[in-house]
Amino acid sequence: MIPYLLGIYREQQHSPGREFDDTEILRLAAKHVEAAGYQVHLKTPEELGEIDTSLNEHLVGPPPLLVFLMCERIDALGLLEPLETRGVPFVNPLGSILNTYRDRMIPLLAASEVSIPRSQIISSNSSDSGRPSAHLGVDSFPIWIKRADVHNTQSGDVELIPSRETLQKALGTLHHRGISHVVLQQHVPGDLIKFYGIGRPGAAYQEEPWFRWFYHRDQELSRHPFSEAALESVTQQAAAAIGLEVYGGDAIITPAGEIVVIDINAWPSFALFREEAASRIAAWLLHRVRKDTRP
Ligand SMILES: Nc1ncnc2c1ncn2[C@@H]1O[C@H](COP(=O)(O)OP(=O)(O)O)[C@@H](O)[C@H]1O
Ligand SMILES: [Mg+2]
């Protein structure tokens, strides 16, 4: 078999309203890799488990040179694990994708230099949780409630809660849906920023890591002044703490110009920058292939 790379799409349920954008960025990145002379096999996470298209050929035959993936559910990641164990490079590494689950992301970022909102992970069972603890400082409403595992997959997964009564109701609904833990989080007022990054600073790579940001639409902007260089460095620190190489996320610029990271995700859709991002992702994948196969 000709040396090839394996790419995996995101699960449809994890792309609410972004199915097309999520598919396009993976497909376009793959096209750029092919243009550099490599074969690329693209699969959906569902296909990984199917008999006739299963991962088996990649496990018993020549392994791919690299796996690049947008899927994020535990079952798909588990199926891919033997390839990573065999030494196949992954972008993003499997552990870093698991680290974006909120119950891991929050402690990892809290232990880093990155500033995040005060947060507390609690059981959704209201008899266990009672009230948000005073030390959290989120006793004053509104606060955010977010499912503690995966990112937003449907309405109710991430909600701004105006009062204690609404909190009890939201906890009950999430508990009823089988979501055992939730994050309660301080609301940080300010300008909402979206950021994107590709690469790792200091990765012995001729190109600087790629970084873009923009103000989220649908908000009344105050345009609090802040340092763009600081934003770039903080988001790269956040990515490094999680282990991500292709990522995006949300940050708030507070009235004091402080940068507070709200969220970081593995391999977003890069929709506003699709063309540019696809070619930069492909360059990064090829860098990782060459680096990892060098004698
Ligand atoms: N602590 C917070 N302070 C202010 N706004 C927040 C906070 N948490 C979430 N938000 C808002 O809600 C959006 C979704 O939250 P986020 O944590 O990014 O979850 P997800 O991306 O999984 O939906 C953010 O982009 C931001 O607009
Ligand atoms: Mg987000």
Q: What is the pLDDT of residues 221-265, one digit of tens each?
A: 999 999 999 999 999 999 999 999 999 999 999 999 999 999 999
Packing angle, helices 228-242 and 102-110, rounded to 10: 120
The amino acid present at 84, given as its one-letter code, is E
pLDDT of amino acid 58: 66
Q: For the chain, what is the mean pLDDT?
A: 90
**pTM score, two decimals?**
0.92
Q: Is 266 exposed, middle or buried (0-12, 13-18, 19+ CB in 10 A)?
A: buried
From 101, 158, 187, 218, mutation site for ligand 1 pocket: most ligand atoms within 8 A of C-beta? 158
Intervals of CATH 3.30.1490 along the chain: 120-186
Nearest CA to ligand 1 atom 7: 187
If we measure between CA atoms, which residue out of 21, 26, 29, 60 comes closest to residue 43? 26
The residues that bridge with 191 in the sheet, in sequence order, are 253
* 14 CB within 6 A, ligand 1: no
Confidence label for 295 from pLDDT (cuts 50, 70 and 90): very low
pLDDT at 57: 65
> Mutate which of 250, 261, 264, 269 to test ligand 1's pocket (most atoms within 8 Å of Cβ)?
250
Asked whether 144 lines ligand 1 (CB < 6 A), one says: yes
Q: In which residue ranges of the chain is CATH 3.30.470.20 found?
A: 94-117+188-266
Say if residue 25 is exposed, middle or buried (CB neighbours under 10 Å; 0-12, 13-18, 19+): buried
User: Looking at the domain that runs over 4-92, which CATH code has it been given?
Assistant: 3.40.50.20
Number of residues assigned to the chain: 295
CB 237 within 8 Å of CB 113:
yes
The 10s digit of each residue's pLDDT in 161-203 is 998 889 989 999 999 999 999 999 999 999 999 999 999 987 6
Give the CATH superfamily of 94-117+188-266: ATP-grasp fold, B domain (3.30.470.20)
Distance 7 CA to ligand 2 centre (A): 23
Q: Which residues surround ligand 2, an ion (CB under 5 A)?
A: 250, 263
Q: Is the CB of 188 under 6 A from ligand 1?
A: yes
Q: What is the DSSP letter of 12?
A: G
Q: Ligand 1 pocket test: pick from 262, 264, 265, 267 the residue with the most ligand atoms within 8 Å of its Cβ.
A: 262
- Between CA 187 and CA 274 the distance in angstroms is 31
CB < 8 Å & 24+ apart, contacts of 33-36: 33/5, 33/282, 33/285, 33/286, 36/282, 36/286
Burial 231-254 (b: 16+ CB within 10 A, else e): bbbbbbbbbbbbbbbbbbbebbbb
Identify the nearest ligand to the CA of 150 by its number. Answer: 1
- Which H or E run includes 38? none
pLDDT (tens digit, 9 = 90+) per residue, 2-59?
Answer: 789 999 999 998 888 999 999 999 999 999 999 999 999 999 999 987 755 556 666 6
CA distances from 223 to 262, 272, 284 (A): 18, 20, 33
Whether the Cβ atoms of residue 89 and residue 284 lie closer than 8 Å to each other: no
Q: Do 116 and 109 form a contact (C-beta atoms < 8 A)?
A: yes
**For domain 120-186, is the CATH number 3.30.1490?**
yes
Ranges for all domains in the chain classified under CATH 3.40.50.20: 4-92
287/209 Cα distance (integer angstroms):
12
Q: Is the CB of 185 under 6 A from ligand 1?
A: yes
